[in-house]
Structure 1
Amino acid sequence: MSIRPSTLDAAVRSGHVLRVDDVDGLALSDLLDSVSAELPVFLDHRGPTDRTAREVVREILDALEDIVGALFPVWLAGHESGLPIDADDAEEMARALCRDAGFPSPAVVHLTRAAAGARRPGSGPADDARAGALTFLLKRGYGRDSVVLAVRADAALPERAQHAAAAAYEWLADHANLTVWLTADALPAVTRVPAIRIGVSGGRRPSPSRPVDVPDDPSPASAAPVLVVSRPSGRPAPHSVAEQTLERALASAPWARDRQWNRSPRDLDPLTPAVIVDLLWATERVVVEVDGADHRGPVKYARDRRRDNMLQRAGYLVLRYTNDHVLDDTALVVAELAAAVAERTRAPSRPTPARPPSTREEHPWTTPS
Structure 2
Amino acid sequence: MGPSSQSATVTASLDQLETVAAQLFPAWLPGAEGIATTAGGGLAAVRSLAIAHAAGTAQYSPFLVDLAVGALAGAGPNTRRHPPEMRAAGLARVIAAALGRPGCALLLRPPDDLDENEALALVRAAQWLVDHGRLAVWISSGSPAPGDLLPEAGIARPAGTTAAGRPGPKVHSTVRGTVRCGRTTDDHYPGERQPGKSRRAGRHGKPHPASRTETLLEAALATRPWAVGRAWNHTLSPGPLVNPVRVDLLWKRERCVVELDGDDHRSAGKYADDRQRDVLLQLDGYAVLRFTNAQVHDDIENVLALLQQFLATRRRTRKGH
Q: Shorter-chain TM-score: what band?
A: 0.3 to 0.5
Identify the structure with bigger relative contact order (alpha carbons < 8 Å, sequence gap 6+): 1
More helix by share: 2
Normalised to the residue count of structure 2, the TM-score between the two structures is 0.42
